């Protein structure tokens, strides 16, 4: 049985005999407290920023797709009213950036809402691409309500439009929420065509300066990353370009800003690529098979 320490102070009760609170007892704790206080004082954003950002992205995705909504909208007037409400909520969200807000908040909110029909159309193309490419999918409704790849792409596309509008940190919170929910990490700065298909998806990483064309499909564990991690390269293209109609199988790693995977390539699983691949190329690992000797533990080729 677990031993209970009855001497540990109950925050709501009296302090036990012999218990010495840290407050004022040791100079290092006072120094520690001052350091925390200074971080709070210098922190530029509202403490509510992350919570409200996640709340907003959940509400927006739910509004766009009844599969993910907690409310049913049945009238056009009601939907238009909801769009106006979401625009105002985005304004309020941006105000939580404090002194780091972009300044033209109403304009950004208006421009973003005007992009929603374009985002919506791309997402239905993505859902159709996922459905058509997966024999296990019974319907597009199943794809939207249940597939982590679709949710990650949906949140990415919303975050990307806000990144284009130079909104700081909020797009990143959106995609990291998607990362937490799905295991798929897409930087909002990446440029991705449509349709875009992620099958299964766990462990997919798509870096900030990645460029992906139309009709690209990838499986779980794919990394589109940088060759080196150096802060001096922050403003350079560090991640690969994937052209149209490419399929990338699980655990493939493609690195480097100068690396281009040409149209209609097939990249096999567990490949490591750091140079460009011409169009219509198949890249794969050779599997070595050895037969075991039945009379011993030794292998024979």
Identify the structural domains of the chain with CATH numbers, from first to last. 45-190 (1.10.3130.10), 203-285 (2.160.10.10)
Per the CB < 8 A criterion, the answer to whether 60 and 86 are in contact is yes
| Whether pLDDT at 28 is above 80 | no
DSSP code of residue 17: T
Whether the bond into 195 is cis, omega within 30 of 0: yes
Q: Give the chain's mean pLDDT.
A: 91
- Report phi then psi at 300, rounded to 5: -120, 145
Q: Can you tell me the mean pLDDT for 215-231?
A: 93
Of residues 273 and 295, the one with the higher pLDDT is: 273
Of residues 232 and 251, the one with the higher pLDDT is: 251
Range in 20-34, 60-74, 201-215, 248-262 with the lowest mean pLDDT = 20-34
| Whether pLDDT at 18 is above 80 | no
| Whether pLDDT at 84 is above 60 | yes
| Whether pLDDT at 23 is above 50 | yes
pLDDT at 2: 45
Predicted confidence band at 291 (pLDDT cuts at 50, 70, 90)?
confident
Could you report the per-residue pLDDT of 176-218, keeping only the tens digit for each? 999 999 999 999 999 999 999 999 999 999 999 999 999 999 9
Instruction: Report in angstroms the alpha-carbon separations of 127 from 136, 209, 244, 266, 300.
Output: 14, 24, 18, 22, 48
pLDDT at 287: 82
Burial (CB count within 10 angstroms: exposed 0-12, middle 13-18, buried 19+), residue 105: middle
State the DSSP string of 36-64.
HHHHHHH--S-TTHHHHHHHHHHHHHHHH
| Whether pLDDT at 5 is above 60 | no
Select from 216, 121, 132 the least CA-distant residue to 140: 132
How far is it, in rounded angstroms, from Cα 95 to Cα 11?
A: 35
Select from 187, 197, 178, 289 the least CA-distant residue to 234: 187
| Whether pLDDT at 154 is above 80 | yes
Range in 155-164, 165-174, 279-288 with the lowest mean pLDDT = 279-288
| Whether pLDDT at 52 is above 80 | yes
DSSP code of residue 67: G
Bridge-based pairing state of the strands 291-292 and 299-300: antiparallel
Range in 61-65, 119-123, 296-300 with the lowest mean pLDDT = 296-300
Extract the tokens encoding 233. Answer: 């390269």
| Whether pLDDT at 270 is above 60 | yes
pLDDT at 161: 98
| Whether pLDDT at 1 is above 60 | no
pLDDT at 301: 53
pLDDT at 100: 92
């Amino acid at each position: 049985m677990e031993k209970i320490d009855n001497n540990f102070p109950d925050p709501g009760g009296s302090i036990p005999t012999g218990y010495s609170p840290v407050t004022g007892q040791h100079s290092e704790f006072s120094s520690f407290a001052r350091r925390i206080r200074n971080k709070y004082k210098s922190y530029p954003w509202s403490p509510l920023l992350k919570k409200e950002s996640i709340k907003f992205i959940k509400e927006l995705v739910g509004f766009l797709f009844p599969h993910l909504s907690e409310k049913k909208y049945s009238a056009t007037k009601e939907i238009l009213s909801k769009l106006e409400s979401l625009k105002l909520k985005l304004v309020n969200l941006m105000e939580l950036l404090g002194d780091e807000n972009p300044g033209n908040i109403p304009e950004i909110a208006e421009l973003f809402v005007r992009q929603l029909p374009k985002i919506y159309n791309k997402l239905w193309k993505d859902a159709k691409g996922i459905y058509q490419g997966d024999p296990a999918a019974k319907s597009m409704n199943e794809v939207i309500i249940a597939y982590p790849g679709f949710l990650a792409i949906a949140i990415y596309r919303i975050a990307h439009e806000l990144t284009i509008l130079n909104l700081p940190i909020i797009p990143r919170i959106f995609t990291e929420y998607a990362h937490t929910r799905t295991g798929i990490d897409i930087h909002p700065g990446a440029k991705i065509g449509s349709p875009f298909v992620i099958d299964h998806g766990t462990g997919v990483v798509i870096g900030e300066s990645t460029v992906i064309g139309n009709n690209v499909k990838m499986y779980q564990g794919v990394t589109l990353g940088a060759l080196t991690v150096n802060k001096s390269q922050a403003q350079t293209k560090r991640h690969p370009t994937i052209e149209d109609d490419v399929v990338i199988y699980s655990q493939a790693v493609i690195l480097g800003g100068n690396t281009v995977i040409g149209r209609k390539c097939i990249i096999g699983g567990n490949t490591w690529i750091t140079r460009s691949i011409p169009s219509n190329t198949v890249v794969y690992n050779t599997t070595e098979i050895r037969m075991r000797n039945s009379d011993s533990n030794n292998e024979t080729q």
